[in-house]
Amino acid sequence: MSAFASHKVYLVGRVASLTALLLCPAAALAQDAPAPAAPAEATPPADAAATPPAAAPATAPTNEELARRVEELDQLVRVSNRKAELAAEAAAANPPARVVTSERGFTIGDGPRDFELKLQGLVQVDGRRIFGSDDPVLRDKTDTFLVRRARLYFDATVLGLVDARIMPDFGNNTTALLDAYADLHPTAWLRLRAGKFKPPVGLERLQTDAYVPLPERALDSNLSAQRDVGAELWGDIANAAVHYELVWLNGNTDGALTDVDDEHAKTYGGRLFLRPFQLGELKAYGDLGVGFAFETGNEKGSNTIANGAASNTWLPSFKSLSQNTIFTYASSGTDATATVFASHRHTRLNPQLYYYIGPFGVLAEWIKEHQSIQKGAALDAVDNQAGHVTLSVAIGGDNSYDGVRPKAAASWKAGTFGAVELVARYGWLSIDDHAFQTYADKSKSVDKAKELAFGVNWWLNRNAKLYAAYGHTTFEDGAGKAAAPTARPTENVGIARVQVAF
């Protein structure tokens, strides 16, 4: 029985009791009423006067007294009814718990939002194909259906003060823990995050995977770490017109998400991102963001050989749009002196820019990396750099860093198509000539790469998106196949994707 129904039963009982109370005086009156006049022959005996008198009848309540009692009972009923009404209103206004489904997942929480558990997910299924390549190895590696990302993750809020996120990924034929952090946020401008999260370098890297306009990030994402472990002080000031991050991290290899540091020295960094149009009346001019991020620290690899391979160089490999390796440092499974490994200073610099207004968007950034390395006893350093510009236009929706928001979700019945996003990206990766000549594994590496990619995305709604993309990447020097270590042939790849994010 619901609380409301049980209250009704209570009310009915209450009213019945009050009615009974109201009727009591009448019953008493009836009992106390004098008997009807007896016939003459029934006159009491003469000694009746000697009989003790019967108990005096109770005084009958006056009309005023009855009216007062009625009024009191009426008030009791009215008060009881009103209290029930207010209780029902309060219950409706402050439900003890709520379950909400929205475009951002499923949320279970209490009324005041002090405690929440949000379940979100991301599934990306790709079909990839290399065009115009006579290299069967490249074709066989690339032409595939692929579960690129498969994530089911949790965000929790405790006491309205601390958030926590746990996000594993089961895509790409691996299992990895991507995010695992706690976020203490006493105010919007002062937050402390501890755990594993995205470090500050890489504007496109920081963009949520579901909102990146092409299926794979640009070439410059090769120069930033996927995740790092440590602490971050961050916040938004002046309505997020100023965003800052200060980090203290293990320091990670490019593209990596390793959890444990390899030496005692740590990496420091920060990011300042300004969005001036968030102030005052300027919002009508769109969302302009300009920022700068950096990281610097010591990372120490080794040339240890384990199981016939260099095991811990703390140096990355770089990948093209098709996710094929296009650069790797030299290593040897037999000669430790032939293996290149990280040797202390690793610095990244990263100017960032985006601008979104209405259907239009542009995002551009550049990353320069300084990496100290060692080969044998020789110490050296290389400087790599990469960047990209992405232009996007949303037809039937508004564009933003957080993806396209269709004006109307696709519906056969309503005759709406959602939104279509047209994307073009130009990017480049330039390996230090010195690194390529001396420290690269030339059988797998190129010196330079330039990418031009186009995409058409169909946003059925905020949760479902279909991608069709084509990328054309040219290379300078290096190898595309071990059998012919000369100029690597151009890579033309098509990627189709079905994505559901909630």
Partner 1 sequence: MRFVKVKSILVATLALAASGGVARADGGSPKLLNVSYDPTRELYTDVNAAFAKQWQQKTGQTVTINQSHGGSGKQARSVIDGLEADVVTLALAYDIDAIAEKSGRIGKDWQKRLPDNASPYTSTIVFVVRKGNPKGIRDWDDLIKPGVGVVVPNPKTSGGARWAYLAAWGQALQKNGGDAAKAKDYVTKLYKNVPVLDSGARGSTTTFAQRGVGQVLVSWENEAYLLVNELGKDKFEIVNPSTSILAEPPVAVVDKNVDKHGTRAVSEAYLKFLYSPEGQEIAAKHHYRPRDEKAAAKFGVLPKIKLFTIDQVFGGWQKAQADHFADGGIFDQIYQPGS
Burial readout 317-347 (b: 16 or more C-beta within 10 A, e: otherwise):
bbbbbbbbebbbbbbbeeebeebbbbbbebb
User: Is residue 420 within the footprint of partner 1 (CB under 8 A)?
Assistant: no
Positions 447 through 476 that interact with partner 1 (CB under 8 A): 450, 452, 474
* DSSP state, residue 337: G
Burial of 4 (0-12, 13-18, 19+ CB in 10 A): exposed
Distance CA 437, CA 445 (A): 10
**In the set 66, 162, 305, 357, which binds partner 1 (CB under 8 A)?**
357
Question: Is residue 10 near partner 1 by the rule CB under 8 A?
Answer: no
Residue 490 binding partner 1, by CB under 8 A: no
Question: SS3 of 235, please?
Answer: strand
From residue 28, how far is each of 60, 69, 465 by CA, in Å?
Answer: 9, 15, 80
Q: Which span sits near partner 1 by CB under 8 A: 57-65, 85-93, 249-257, 338-346?
A: 85-93
Distance CA 232, CA 183 (A): 9
State which of residues 26, 70, 86, 161 lies at the interface with partner 1 (CB under 8 A).
86
Q: Is 316 helix (H, G, I), strand (E, B) or coil?
A: coil
Cα distance from N-terminal residue to C-terminal residue, the chain: 35
- Answer for which of 13, 57, 280, 376 binds partner 1 (CB under 8 A) is 280
Tell me the three state secondary structure of residue 489.
coil
Q: Is 159 in the site for partner 1 (CB under 8 A)?
A: no
Q: Does 98 bind partner 1 (CB under 8 A)?
A: no
What kind and span of H or E run contains 152? strand 144-158
Q: Of 283, 309, 335, 376, which lies in the binding site for partner 1, with binding defined by CB under 8 A? A: 283
Nearer to partner 1, 58 or 279 (CB): 279
Q: Does position 355 bind partner 1 by CB under 8 A?
A: yes
- Which of positions 13-52 make contact with partner 1 (CB under 8 A)? none
Supply the minimum distance, in Å, between the C-beta of residue 325 and partner 1. Answer: 22
Residue 4 touching partner 1 (CB under 8 A): no
Q: Residue 380 in 3-state DSSP?
A: strand
The CB-of-75 to partner 1 minimum distance in angstroms stands at 6
Task: Output 16 or 86, the one with its CB closest to partner 1.
Answer: 86
Instruction: State both tokens at 282.
Output: 């300027």
Nearest distance from C-beta of residue 136 to partner 1, angstroms: 27
CB count, 10 Å around CB of 173? 7
Residues of this chain that bind partner 1 (CB under 8 A): 72, 74-75, 78-79, 81-83, 85-86, 90, 112-113, 187-188, 238-239, 278-286, 355, 357-358, 360, 362, 389, 391, 393, 424, 426, 450, 452, 474
